[in-house]
Structure 1
Amino acid sequence: MNEDKLRQFAALVEKWSAKINLVSKSDLPHIWERHVQDSLRLVPYIPAGTSRAIDIGSGAGFPGLVLAIATGIPFDLVESDIRKAAFLREAARITGAPAKIHNARIEAGGLEPAPLVTARALAPLDKLLGLASPLLAPDGVCLFPKGRGWEAELTAAKALWHMQAERISAPGWGESCILKVSQIRHAG
């Protein structure tokens, strides 16, 4: 893990947030704990040998750009907001992160499926699976950080999707967890 590059990235988020609201003002003093460290929680659950990943709804780069910096795995970051995509390009350039930024809607497609798909605070799980499934390689996994309400989201998603889902939690995470999802297919 490259802590210097991650701290450089956190400083960029703080700087750019004044102009384009990447994170809320109340979160600015807590970028490292609430956003960077939260994103780093995914690292131990990335399958060994992962050669490429896609982060959808990348926003301020959590978790995709953080994971690219920390692991060296090449990430495709998909973000529809042109200002946030510009930030992601600049942050990737400055930190040297192996990331390609796509200023597009996720539904536009055009990306080769990847063995890993991530997203944070993008959509409820039932909608997230619809966005992620076309981007996921057949033997791939999705890692989705979720907060309070994850159980209701999983129940709603199971009405529409067949999948393997595992809840990952740890002491100190409170009601937060990571949902590790694979073998996704529409129930209909």
Structure 2
Amino acid sequence: MADGRERFLHDCVVSRETVERLDALVAILEEWNNTINLVSRASLSDVWIRHILDCAQLYPLAPTDAKTWIDLGSGGGFPGLVIAALANEKNPSLHMTLVESDSRKCAFLASAALRMGLNVTTENRRIEGHGRRRFDVVSARALARLPALLALAEPYMNSDSVALFLKGSGADRELTEVLETRHVSAMRIPSITDPNGVILAIKGASRAKSGS
């Protein structure tokens, strides 16, 4: 774990306060993971690379003037709490909303945010209960295949919103499937933590192709 933390500090230029917040996240994650399956035990031993650095790579892809960010299916706080910790230093006006349907995981998110000293909103509900709110950035990690993920994310997006999805080796197939029926402006960014992983950055809400 120490080597992973050192790599994070090498790859991400952050303040001592931000590192302390992330240390607090690791500590509470280890505590709660004994009773709630937040992350796999195997990945917990490499938490700084597999989870924290993996999620931190999303932050530079978001608009620098973003004011609202929603993380769908936040679970163990990835990427939502990592992004909130970075934003607290780099863009304090950004407000993070974490959506999680599992009440136990939502309790973890609230407790972790408190220990990290972060002002975030945690919502214990299904993603589909979105109301009419729109956000500058929508994120998700290991939540669903891209066609279903876009259907969940689009109600939270307007024409200027950006969706940032951490995806695995099936990302290209999923994107091809989406492009067959939707007009989507998408950028594919290789992951810095997983040779088979990519980040899909999708601009604005997609539109169905005529005849689809």
> Which TM-score band applies after superposition, normalised by the shorter structure?
over 0.9
Asked if the contact 1:5/1:69 (under 8 Å) is kept, the reply is: yes
Does 2:107 match 1:86?
A: yes
Residue equivalent to 1:168: 189
| 1:151–1:28 CA distance, 2 compared to 1 (3 A) | same
Deviations 1:111-148 (A, max 9, x none): 61101000000000100000000101320100111111
Q: TM-score under structure 2 normalisation?
A: 0.84
CA distance in 1, matches of 2:199, 2:129: 26
Q: How many residues align?
A: 188
Q: RMSD between aligned alpha carbons? A: 1.4
Which 4+ runs in 1 deviate beyond 2 A?
Answer: 170-173, 183-186
Does 2:171 match 1:153?
A: no
**Structure of greater Rg:** 2
Does 2:46 match 1:57?
A: no
Asked if the contact 1:162/1:183 (under 8 Å) is kept, the reply is: no
SS of 1:119's partner is strand
**Of 43, 53, 72, which aligns to 1:27?**
43
**CA deviation after TM superposition for structure 1 residue 164, in Å:** 0.2
CA distance in 1, matches of 2:47, 2:135: 28
The one-letter code of the counterpart of 1:87 is F
CA distance in 2, matches of 1:170, 1:56: 20
**Of 42, 59, 64, which aligns to 1:43?**
59
| 1:7–1:171 CA distance, 2 compared to 1 (3 A) | closer
| 1:94–1:100 CA distance, 2 compared to 1 (3 A) | same
CA distance in 2, matches of 1:181, 1:162: 11
| 1:154–1:92 CA distance, 2 compared to 1 (3 A) | same
Residue equivalent to 1:105: 126
Task: Using the aligned pairs only, state the percent identity.
Answer: 40
**CA deviation after TM superposition for structure 1 residue 169, in Å:** 1.8
CA distance in 1, matches of 2:168, 2:28: 25
